[in-house]
């Protein structure tokens, strides 16, 4: 994450500015100092800190008037008011003016830093809340794991900006969802969000897809067509799997990013657009640059702010939350009653590897909504391919799972006394495989199974097993 906490210090006293700067720097908080409150509003138009600390008595605009202006224009930035005149009046006025806190001078440096940290924590909470309270029809981003909170914070911090963002993360981790959230929380929210997956478009169609084409530009171009850049004008263009972009398209993209204009394929009139780019990739772009398959200059243009979305297995605590959310959503889609996870099932889901990340979990929940036999989902209800995962505690449940499915089917077909079919089948499998392991020797096979030799011989007869000549060898 390249977005860092930042604090502005406004005080005409140079030593106070110096002390605070130093203490914040030690606490790894970036700060910027100003010797007066004049022109702060103009500066805020360009860039905003997360917290402001301001003195009250200063030449020019005083701290309380500044506070009023800040409240009117930037009510979300917490302001800490300092004053050497620690009288009740200024304290009361600063609270009434909406100050986050009041810091009487002389102050203890640690106290000042902890106050700033509290204000930052307050900002972060607000950011997370804002992202979580999304429009009702927008898909929610579920995540309580610290790594996801970090992602929410980044979305919150970037909410007033149009800056280029590069999202990194494995397939199915939610990159597109985050890109949508960045757009929805940006000044461009009311304009289009256009997504394009580089891996899904044939190379020779990519330029026309991005930049459009003129009529007759190539065989098949029967009509003039606007590309995604034009469609996204004023809004956001999400370029997924940017690492798959061919070299010549990279060159064109770079030019558009530098000039803000481009030509349609076969066109001669430059088209001006104002598009914010959010790019995503599951690949290591630095490696592609080193290998020469991705342009370094384009990489630097895109890599302004980077957001990393962790693999699902690196945020296991979110798995049960996500699973419940997807089960409810699948039930809504299918207009059926939502299924619930038994605690042991939730626990098991959290232990699996999820190579397909959130998308795989989402698909599994849809499958379970249709396939699980009862309202409460048991570990054995999980789809076989999940249960077959190596290194999971339930490898050996697979055959039981299949057995359960078979029992379900038999009973659903109206069959009765199904133990009469199941038990001999079970014993037959046991005996045949054990005999295979002993090269047909019954005594050893009986031992493997935990039966006496006579029992094994009787079972072979009862089951009318055809065992090879070798099986008699040691009889």
Ligand X SMILES: Nc1ncnc2c1ncn2[C@@H]1O[C@H](COP(=O)(O)OP(=O)(O)OP(=O)(O)O)[C@@H](O)[C@H]1O
239 vs 460, beta carbon nearer ligand X: 239
Residue recorded with tokens 């979300």: 76
* Structure tokens, 331: 């039930």
**Counting contacts by CB under 6 A, is residue 183 touching ligand X?**
no
**Counting contacts by CB under 6 A, is residue 176 touching ligand X?**
yes
Nearest to 8 by CA among 93, 107, 20, 63: 20
**In whole angstroms, how close is the CB of 8 to ligand X at the nearest point?**
33
Q: Which of 54, 83, 168, 173 is close enough to bind ligand X by CB under 6 A?
A: 173
**Counting contacts by CB under 6 A, is residue 366 touching ligand X?**
no
**Counting contacts by CB under 6 A, is residue 282 touching ligand X?**
yes
169 vs 227, beta carbon nearer ligand X: 169
Task: Please identify the residue of the shown chain whose CB is closest to the bound ligand X.
Answer: 174
Q: Which of 143, 156, 227, 243 is close enough to bind ligand X by CB under 6 A?
A: 143
**Counting contacts by CB under 6 A, is residue 155 touching ligand X?**
no
Length of the chain counted residue by residue: 475
CA distances from 334 to 142, 221, 265, 327, 340 (A): 21, 41, 44, 11, 15
Contact 16, 55 (CB under 8 A): yes
Q: Which listed range, 1-9, 140-148, 420-428, 458-466, lies at the site for ligand X (CB under 6 A)?
A: 140-148
368 vs 435, beta carbon nearer ligand X: 368
**In whole angstroms, how close is the CB of 201 to ligand X at the nearest point?**
13
**Counting contacts by CB under 6 A, is residue 243 touching ligand X?**
no
**Counting contacts by CB under 6 A, is residue 285 touching ligand X?**
no
Contact 196, 223 (CB under 8 A): no
d(CA 37, CA 59) in angstroms, rounded, equals 8
**Counting contacts by CB under 6 A, is residue 174 touching ligand X?**
yes
**In whole angstroms, how close is the CB of 131 to ligand X at the nearest point?**
11
49 vs 172, beta carbon nearer ligand X: 172
**Counting contacts by CB under 6 A, is residue 358 touching ligand X?**
yes
Q: Which of 150, 240, 244, 381 is close enough to bind ligand X by CB under 6 A?
A: 240
**In whole angstroms, how close is the CB of 139 to ligand X at the nearest point?**
5
Handedness of CA 201, 206, 212, 218 (dihedral sign): negative
Q: Which listed range, 19-27, 45-53, 174-182, 426-434, lies at the site for ligand X (CB under 6 A)?
A: 174-182
**Counting contacts by CB under 6 A, is residue 349 touching ligand X?**
no
138, exposed or middle or buried, with CB in 10 Å at 0-12, 13-18, 19+?
exposed
Q: Which listed range, 17-25, 50-58, 167-175, 219-227, lies at the site for ligand X (CB under 6 A)?
A: 167-175
**Counting contacts by CB under 6 A, is residue 142 touching ligand X?**
yes
- Residues in contact with 400: Cβ distance below 8 Å, sequence separation at least 6, in sequence order: 380
Beta pairing partners, 193: 236
**In whole angstroms, how close is the CB of 123 to ligand X at the nearest point?**
22
**In whole angstroms, how close is the CB of 241 to ligand X at the nearest point?**
7
**In whole angstroms, how close is the CB of 36 to ligand X at the nearest point?**
45
238 vs 299, beta carbon nearer ligand X: 238
56 vs 322, beta carbon nearer ligand X: 322
Instruction: Indicate the pairing of strand 271-272 with strand 261-262.
Output: antiparallel
Question: How many residues make contact with ligand X (CB under 6 A)?
Answer: 19
**Counting contacts by CB under 6 A, is residue 177 touching ligand X?**
yes
139 vs 440, beta carbon nearer ligand X: 139
**In whole angstroms, how close is the CB of 286 to ligand X at the nearest point?**
18
**In whole angstroms, how close is the CB of 197 to ligand X at the nearest point?**
6
Contacts with ligand X, residue ranges (CB under 6 A): 139-143, 169, 171-177, 240, 282, 322, 358-359, 362
């Amino acid at each position: 994450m390249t977005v860092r906490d930042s604090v502005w210090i406004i005080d005409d006293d140079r030593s106070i500015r110096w002390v605070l700067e130093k203490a914040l720097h030690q606490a790894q908080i970036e700060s910027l100092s100003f010797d007066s409150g004049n022109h702060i509003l103009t500066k805020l138009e360009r860039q905003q800190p997360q917290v402001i600390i301001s003195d009250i008595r200063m030449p020019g605009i005083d701290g309380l008037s500044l506070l009023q202006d800040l409240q009117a224009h930037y009510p979300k930035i917490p302001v800490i008011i300092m004053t050497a005149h620690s009288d009740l009046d200024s304290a009361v006025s600063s609270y009434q003016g909406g100050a986050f806190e009041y810091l009487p001078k002389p102050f203890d440096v640690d106290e000042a830093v902890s106050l700033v940290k509290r204000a930052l924590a307050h900002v972060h909470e607000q950011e997370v809340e804002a992202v979580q309270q999304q429009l009702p029809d927008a898909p929610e981003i579920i995540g309580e794991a610290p790594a996801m909170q970090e992602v929410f914070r980044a979305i919150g911090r970037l909410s007033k900006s149009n800056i280029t963002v590069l999202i990194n993360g494995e397939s199915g981790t939610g990159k597109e969802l985050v890109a949508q959230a960045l757009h929805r929380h940006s000044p461009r929210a009311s304009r289009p969000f256009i997504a394009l997956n580089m891996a899904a478009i044939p190379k020779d169609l990519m330029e026309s897809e991005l930049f459009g084409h003129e009529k007759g530009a190539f065989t098949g171009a029967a009509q003039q067509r606007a590309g995604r850049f034009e469609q996204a004008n004023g809004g956001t263009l999400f370029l997924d799997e940017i690492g798959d972009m061919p070299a010549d398209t990279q060159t064109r993209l770079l030019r558009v990013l530098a000039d803000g204009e481009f030509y349609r394929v076969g066109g001669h009139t430059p088209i001006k657009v104002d598009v914010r780019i959010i790019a995503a990739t599951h690949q290591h772009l630095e490696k592609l640059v080193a290998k020469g398959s991705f342009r370094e200059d384009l990489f630097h243009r895109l890599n302004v702010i980077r957001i990393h979305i962790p693999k699902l297995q690196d945020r296991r605590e979110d798995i049960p939350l996500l699973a419940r959310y997807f089960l409810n959503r699948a039930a809504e889609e299918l207009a059926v009653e939502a299924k619930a996870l038994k605690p042991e099932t939730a626990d098991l889901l959290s232990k699996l590897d999820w190579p397909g990340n959130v998308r795989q979990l989402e698909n599994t929940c849809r499958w379970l909504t249709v396939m699980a036999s009862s309202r409460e989902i048991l570990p054995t209800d999980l789809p076989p391919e999940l249960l077959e995962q190596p290194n999971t505690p339930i490898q050996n449940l697979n055959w039981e799972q299949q057995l359960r499915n078979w029992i379900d089917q038999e009973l659903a077909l109206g069959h009765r006394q199904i133990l009469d079919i199941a038990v001999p089948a079970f014993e037959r499998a046991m005996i045949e495989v054990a005999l295979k392991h002993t090269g047909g020797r019954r005594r050893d096979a009986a031992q493997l199974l935990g039966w006496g030799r006579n029992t094994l011989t009787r079972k072979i007869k009862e089951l009318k097993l055809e065992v090879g000549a070798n099986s008699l060898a040691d009889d």
